[in-house]
């Protein structure tokens, strides 16, 4: 990975000794994450693999600033996440992180355009500009013709494209995808993965969590989680 030319800015993700312990100090104590050191530079496409229960969801929640570590350090573009309170972490998510979920998580009563524009409301972007940007994002993921469809009128692949457009709407530093193809058939999954690769070519940083090796194969680098420990995986 030394071959990658790093920009002068801080890495998108830099963790040192990241640890997450549940029910700490009790008999039910579970160490979900053991001293994870991870550095991801801007523009990389990284996959994190592992069976269920290996701690990859815990890592994903920490990287997505939804959770705080029990010990260790996480800097997201240089910002020490552990020092932030709930409001500040929400702000960080708003500005730097875009989530793509396995279950799409679109709001069922809003059309595609409103779903994509929704996060911008929290950034106090005026409504006109919000809708304009959302429509551009939908066009970019190939859904320019379906902006006013409700999620229920869209196929799974289309819904996931809407979700990706929503994740991109704030121009985040990091795109975090948790099993984004898990609910899709193989062919549609391939299309979504192709979209991620295209996004990477356009300069986005993508971290993909999956348990499928052929999905992970699309990434530049692969890590494997095993019992809460992160190991470099086989090169694709």
Q: Is the Cβ of residue 166 or residue 218 nearer to another protein in the bound state?
A: 166
Rounded least distance, CB 14 to another protein, Å = 22
Nearest distance from C-beta of residue 107 to another protein, angstroms: 6
| Cβ-based nearer residue to another protein, 123 or 153 | 123
Name the one residue in this structure whose structure tokens are 């990434």.
219
Nearest to 59 by CA among 161, 166, 210: 210
Whole-number minimum distance, CB 190 to another protein, in Å? 26
Q: In whole angstroms, what is the distance from residue 28 CA to residue 103 CA?
A: 30
Residues that bind another protein (CB under 8 A): 61, 64, 66-67, 86-87, 90-91, 93-95, 99, 101, 105, 107, 109-110, 118-119, 121-124, 127, 166-167, 170
- Measured from the CB atom, the residue of 115 and 205 that comes closer to another protein is 115
Report the distance separating Cα 101 and Cα 81, nearest Å.
22
Residue of 164, 45, 153, 148 lying closest to 100 (CA atoms): 164
**Minimal distance in Å, beta carbon 99 to another protein?**
5
- Do residues 48 and 15 make contact, with C-beta atoms less than 8 angstroms apart? no
């Amino acid at each position: 990975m030394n071959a990658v030319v790093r920009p002068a800015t801080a890495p998108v993700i830099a963790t040192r000794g990241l640890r997450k312990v549940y029910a700490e100090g009790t008999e039910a104590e579970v160490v979900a994450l053991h001293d994870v050191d991870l550095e991801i530079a801007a523009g990389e496409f990284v996959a994190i693999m592992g069976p269920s229960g290996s701690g990859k969801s815990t890592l994903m929640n920490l990287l997505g600033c939804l959770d705080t570590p029990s010990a260790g350090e996480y800097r997201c573009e240089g910002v020490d996440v552990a020092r932030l309170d709930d409001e500040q972490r929400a702000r960080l998510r708003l500005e730097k992180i875009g989530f793509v979920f396995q279950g799409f998580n679109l709001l069922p009563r809003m059309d595609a355009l409103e779903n994509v524009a929704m996060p911008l409301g929290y950034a106090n972007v005026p409504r006109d500009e919000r809708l304009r940007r959302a429509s551009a994002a939908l066009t970019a993921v190939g859904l320019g013709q379906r902006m006013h469809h409700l999620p229920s009128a869209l196929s799974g692949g289309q819904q996931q494209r809407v979700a990706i457009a929503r994740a991109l709407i704030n121009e985040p530093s990091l795109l975090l995808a948790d099993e984004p193809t898990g609910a899709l058939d193989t062919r549609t999954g391939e299309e979504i993965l192709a979209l991620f690769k295209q996004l990477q070519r356009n300069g986005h940083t993508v971290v993909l969590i999956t348990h499928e090796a052929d999905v992970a194969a699309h990434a530049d680098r692969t890590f494997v989680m095993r019992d809460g420990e992160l190991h470099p995986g086989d090169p694709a």
